[in-house]
A and B are shown apart, each in its own frame.
Chain A
Amino acid sequence: MDKVRVIEIKKSVFAENEQDANALRQELKDRGVYLLNLMSAPGSGKTTTLIKTINLLKDKLRIAVMEADIDSDVDAVKIKEATGIQSIQLHTGGMCHLDAEMTRQGLDGLDLDGVDLVILENVGNLVCPAEFDTGAARNAMILSVPEGHDKPLKYPLMFSVCDVVVINKMDVAPYFDFDLEKCKEYIAMRNPNAKVIPICAKTGEGVEAFAQWLLEQVQTLKH
C-alpha cells in the first residue's frame, strides 16, 4: 500500500476571489453604488489626485473613500480634512493588495446610504493589486512622470486590467525625459481600450477630464 493518498484539487488559487468579486460587483450595481479601484506605485500622487477630483465632484455626487495601506491612517485623515467626505482607513496587515473579501469588509464600515461613488485607494504597488479583483466596477491607475514612460512594458498586467490610466506630474515631464506619446503607445500595446488622461494634480491641470470621466461612469451605472 502507498504511504500517501493523493486527493486531486485542480483549482486556481484566484478562483474563489473571482467569485467573491463578481458577487460584490453585482450587489453594488443593484444598490446603485459605483466602486472605483484606484491603483498606482507609492508616491505617484494618488491621494492628492483624489482630493482634487473629489472637490470637483462632491456637489454632484455623494462620495466615500476607502484608503488601503499596510499601516497608518495619514491618507484617510488627509482626505477627510481636505474634502470633508466620509473616509475610512483599511489596514492590510502586511499584505500587498486588497482582495474582494477585504473590500467587502471595508464597505461594511462605511455608511453607504445615498452614496453614489466609493473610491478604493489600493495599496501602492504595481504588481499584486492587479492580480486580485476587488469587485470594483472599474479599475484606474495613476502613473507619475518620474516613474518613466516605459512602465507599461515592465508591469504589463497592471496596464492590461485598467480602464483608465491617469498620468500625473505632467509639469515635470521635461526634467525626466518623459515621452507621453511613447507612453500612450506602450499602454495601447497592453490594452488598446484604456483611456489615457494626462494631469498635474498639484496645479489641478487636467483633473477635470478625470472627474468628468468618473461622473459619466457613475451616471451610466445608474441608468
Chain B
Amino acid sequence: MHELGIVFYIIRDVKAAAAENSVQRISAVVMNIGEVSTVVPEYLTDCWRWAADKEPLLKGSELKINMIPAVTQCQDCGQEYETVKYGKTCPHCGSGNTFLLKGNEVEIKEIEVPNN
C-alpha cells in the first residue's frame, strides 16, 4: 500500500510544475505507469481522489493512467518478449540473462490545464 505515498509525491511535483508555469487550476494529471512497477492503478486513483481534493489547485481533478506494457530483452539471443508472460527466462532461447527494457515507469507524463 505505497500508493498514498506516491500520490503525495505526485502532488508535490505537480504543485511545483504549476508554480513554474503560473497555473492556478489543473483539470487532469496524466501518469505513465509500468505494468511491473508494483503500483496498483485502482489504488492510485482512489488515493488520488482523497488527497487531491484537499488541494485547491487539484480539487476535482482526474488522474489519468497510461499503462506501459513490460518488455524484457534477452542479452544472449537479443530478442524481446512480454515480461509478465515469461518472467526472467527468455522464451526464445531459455537464457536467464535478461533485463527489463520498459514497464517499470512511475512517471508524470503531463498535466492538463483548463483554458478560460
Quick check: A8 and B109 within 8 Å, CB to CB?
A: yes
Q: Which of B38, B96, B108 contacts A13 (CB 8 A)?
A: B108
Least distance between A183 CB and chain B CB atoms (Å): 18
Q: Which one of B9-17, B52-60, B73-81 contacts A?
A: B9-17
Chain A interface residue count: which class? 20 to 34
A11 and B5 form a contact (CB under 8 A): no
Q: Give me the interface of B with A, judged by CB distance under 8 Å.
A: 1-2, 4-6, 8-10, 12-14, 17, 21, 23, 27-28, 38, 88, 96, 105-115
* Interface secondary structure of A, over-half rule: mixed
Q: How far does the Cβ of B14 sit from chain A's closest Cβ, in whole Å?
A: 8
A-B contact count (CB 8 A): 78
Binds B, one of A27-35, A90-98, A137-145: A90-98
**Given A12-B105, A97-B5, A3:B111 Cβ within 8 A:** no
Nearest chain B residue, comparing its CB with the CB of A155: B38
- Is B107 a contact partner of A12 (Cβ separation < 8 A)? yes
Taken together as a complex, chains A and B put the C-alpha atoms of A128 and B6 apart, in Å, by: 10
Question: What residue in chain A is nearest B107 (Cβ atoms)?
Answer: A12
Cα distance, A186 to B113, chains bound together (Å): 48
Tell me if A127 counts as interface (CB < 8 A to partner B).
yes
Residues A9 and B13 in contact, CB atoms below 8 Å apart: yes
A16 interface contact, C-beta 8 A = yes
CB distance from B110 to the nearest CB of A (A): 5
Asked if A9 meets B111 with Cβ closer than 8 Å, knowing A97-B5, A127-B38, the reply is: yes
Interface residue A7 (Cβ < 8 Å from any Cβ of B): yes
Q: Which of A1-47 contact B (CB under 8 A)?
A: 1-14, 16-17
Q: Are B2 and A10 in contact (CB under 8 A)?
A: no
Query: Are the C-beta atoms of A128 and B17 separated by less than 8 Å?
Result: no
Contact of A131 with B by CB under 8 A: yes
